[in-house]
Chain A
Amino acid sequence: MDDTAEAQTSGLAYGRTEWDDHHHLPTNTGLTNEKVTMWAFLGSDCLLFGALISTYLLCRNRIGPATKGPTAADLFDIPFTSVSSFVLLMSSLTMVLAVTSIQRAEMERCKLWLLTTAALGSIFIAGQVYEFTGFYREGLGFTTNISSSAFFTLTGFHGVHVSLGIVMLVTMWALVTRGNLGPERAETIEIIGLYWHFVDIVWIVIFAVVYLIP
């Protein structure tokens, strides 16, 4: 019996692709629990950002009856944020190159791409801190009005996600450097990569919906 037929008779063929038919794992789904958990987490994180983006869209033109001050949209520096967005987008490329490197057992290249991804993420965070500082100097704080609260909560939560991603990337780099993470555990890097790409796609939505759409 070939692999595909075996998978079908064992009931594992439902909803599965060619990838699954070549990777038999000792779990009910035939998939690694870690990867399933990460995708479930990312699905639930969609809800978090869906709620935050919705809140901002509904509040962005509302200053409130008893409060004053500008809205975040009045202070956006689109050219600056565009560069930040480009940096984060390119970090997704370096992340996927780190994953392919470790799958090919090219550990030095993997370490290089992991560090590059962490560096690009750090540049993005530095840009966000610079942007927030500029807003504060212009009189837009977290409690200035309902619009600013929604904006800082949304972009702040995204920034926290990116920061956590940087910590995970540096941890992966340290593990690879110390020889505790080899090609046989390449999926660990792939799972961290999924998280990193997720924060990238969230920013794709935020950049378009919050910053660019008037």
Chain B
Amino acid sequence: MSTATVSEEDGHQEHHDHGLSDVGYIKIAVILAILTAIEVATYFFDFGVVEVPSLLILMVVKFQIVVSYFMHLKFDSKVFSYLFVTGLILAVLVFAAMGTSMVFWQNPSGCDASAFC
């Protein structure tokens, strides 16, 4: 009895050890909340020319944190990372292709940056 029970408990503990502890996840959530607060602050205060770059950087950092820790990609098999990153790259290519078609095909005289975003 004890062997099976201990083995099962070890299995659960081992699985859990590959991620973070509950306290670790709460710390990650606090970091995400702080980053979101900084994002929202850009709406209330004028950050000037750094506003858009800082928002993009914060977005990427938040994205990376959720994917790495909450989705366990940092601890899981690389196969999952390949699958997900492939989708992300294709999504960026879709954005680039649509942007290119809208900007260049509609304005043969040249690139109208204002039409993009």
Contacts and interface: CB of A to CB of B under 8 A. Distances in A.
A29 B117 CA distance: 42
Contact of A58 (B40, B56, B98): B98
A45 B66 CA distance: 17
A123 to B, nearest CB: 16
Contacts of B28: 93
Nearest to A208: B59
A32 to B, nearest CB: 10
B22 A100 contact: yes
| Chain A, interface residues (CB within 8 Å), range | 35 or more
A50 B16 contact: no
Interface string A9-35: 000000111111010000001110001
A47 B87 contact: yes
A133 to B, nearest CB: 22
Contact of B12 (A39, A45, A183, A194): A183
A204 B66 CA distance: 10
A158 interface: no
B33 to A, nearest CB: 7
Contacts of B56: 208, 213
Nearest to A83: B40
Contacts of B22: 97, 100
B15 A201 contact: no
Interface in A37-96: 39-40, 42-47, 49-51, 53-55, 57-58, 60, 78-79, 82, 85-86, 89-90, 92-93, 95-96
Given A39-B83, A93-B25, A104-B12, A205 B59 contact: yes
| Interface SS of chain B | helix
B32, B55, B56, B79 — most chain A CB neighbours (10 Å): B79
B111 interface: no
A40 B14 contact: no
Given A19-B77, A200-B66, A212 B43 contact: yes
A149 to B, nearest CB: 15
Interface string B35-60: 01001101100000001100110110
Contacts of B16: 100, 103-104
A208 B92 contact: no
14 contacts: A16-B77, A19-B18, A39-B79, A43-B84, A50-B92, A51-B94, A54-B95, A55-B98, A58-B117, A89-B36, A92-B32, A93-B29, A96-B19, A212-B43
Interface of B: 12-16, 18-19, 22, 25-26, 28-29, 32-33, 36, 39-40, 42-43, 51-52, 55-56, 58-59, 62-63, 66-67, 69-72, 75-80, 82-88, 90-92, 94-95, 98-99, 102, 115-117
Interface of A: 15-20, 22, 29-31, 35-36, 39-40, 42-47, 49-51, 53-55, 57-58, 60, 78-79, 82, 85-86, 89-90, 92-93, 95-97, 100, 103-105, 183, 186, 190, 193-194, 197-198, 200-201, 204-205, 207-209, 212-214
